[in-house]
Structure 1
Amino acid sequence: MAVARYTLLELTRRRILLVFFIIGAAGIALLGILLKVFSSSISGTFQNGGGGGGGPNGPPPLTPAQLNQLLELTFVQNLIGVLGLFALLIAYAIGMTAIYHDLESGSAVSIFSKPVSRVAFTIGKLAAAVAAIIVIVGLLGIEARLFILLFGGGLEQALTLEILASVANAVTLMLLVLALTTWMNNIVAAVVAFIYNGAAGIVVALHNQMENGFLGDNQIVHTGLTILYWIVPHSLVSDAPREIARQEFAIFNAGNVNVGESASQAVSGIPGPSSVGDIVWWAFVIVVFASLVYVAVRRRQV
């Protein structure tokens, strides 16, 4: 635990994490305030009789309640993007510094000269890094939930699940960067991890398209994508993106008697929540990447 406390202390002294947190918190606050002001102005327009009406052959006009709901969905959708982005940025920042600076500055020599094994060193570093991600992203998530209350609430559970998924994905990326920084420069390690993460995302996206029947029935393509899919990490996702799209579709098609069936067809191309198999695979990848970090630390000469 001494290594974990030391690592957390070092992370708090580095301004980059504080900068990311401040930018993320300010961005969420600005987004929430702007959408709230916009929502209030629209409600005032309707109350003054300026809502207008639809054409005789067009869809019925949206009511103030529907507009507010649409704004809330837009807000949550943007929050998901912001939180996911900053979770990854924080993962890069921690992964590039948590172990690399100790190895390059020589601090690891003094640490290993004490009765601290490399197993304890690795566990302490990983525990501190994961705790830092959870705390920072968790605080941003709490702020986001508070701003959702400005719109009356209703999507807190969806946002919470998406926050958990963002933290899980950030931990995966962070472990990869941590392992790479023991072998190469931390900037190069971040670039390699970025390319690998992007390639994995493309593979997962293509696999989802294949599962939805958009890539034809070529068995060679199917087999190749299936193999690649179970080699690369899978970014965990919640049902929030699909549920938001479903509710938006329902708002714009409120007069359609078959809106439920039509909505299901409209959101079929959006990835659904991660399955149990995906979660188990994520846990396996975490164990593998954490083991790679230990192997890299053990083999590193200091």
Structure 2
Amino acid sequence: MFFMPHWTLHMTKTGNGWLSGFAGVLIFSGSLPATRIAIQGLDPFFLTVARASIAGTLALALLLLFRQTRPVRADLLPLFVVMIGVVVGFPLLTALALEHITAAHAVVFIGLLPLSTAIFGVLRGGERPQPAFWLFSAIGSASVVAFAMRNGVAASPLGDALMVAAIVVCGLGYAEGARLSRHLGGWQVISWALVLALPVMLPLTWWAWPATFADVSPAAFCGLAYVSLFSMLIGFVFWYRGLALGGIAGVGQLQLLQPFFGLLLAALLLHEQVPPAMIAVTVVVVACVGGARRFAKSAPVPQRAA
């Protein structure tokens, strides 16, 4: 029988986790630009509940199709936390923020997500990164904050505050979902969280239904479709799997790459101005990924000589 050394299995598992996490980041990178496009024709509240209802209905169909076992009672509270963080909190707060700031400005705040995710990974996931990890993560996050406050007062303090709140609840949802994914599975976690929200999201969607869609552009509908299918469901299939396999704190640092991809999309799709300072900040936070990745795992305990 073919034998694969334990360290090789570990490297394969970790590598698959980082690849899966990277795929999730690529998908999530389109979330803020797509949201920005969608709210140009749709109310932010309706967008939030509609995307959750669409994704939740599809998730329920998948769970029934593949005959997934229901979560045990001990998983319900963590699933509720995931629901509040990534199904309701982050989409609603970012949609509200994008009424006051551009997608190019908002997407840089995603650079704070790795730090938020890593902190909750320690608090909820039991991970213990090395001290150097926090240094690289802090440098990336500090660069983002410095950019946001570069003029003393941001273009919209309310928009920035909403984005910070979104980052906090999202980091909690990521860490809690990754912890659950270790025994429930990545796509099952987000699916059950979406289904848990359906009894509330469906009535709210009906209540917030616009009187007419005559003024809604096809682009806005495309934005709704993207955030419903990719941002709300498909992206999490890759993301939670990556966090579970590669580690919450370590793989979470891949979110530092998301501003780079998001800025490109904001410029290409929305024709938004991307100032050189924003690009410089993005380069700095991207450079922190390599350093943080190296020190994401706990340092090995030296063995005493016999």
TM-score of the pair, normalised by structure 1:
0.31
- RCO (CA 8 Å, sep 6+): is it higher in 1 or 2? 2
Larger radius of gyration: 1
With structure 2 as the length reference, what TM-score do the two structures score?
0.30
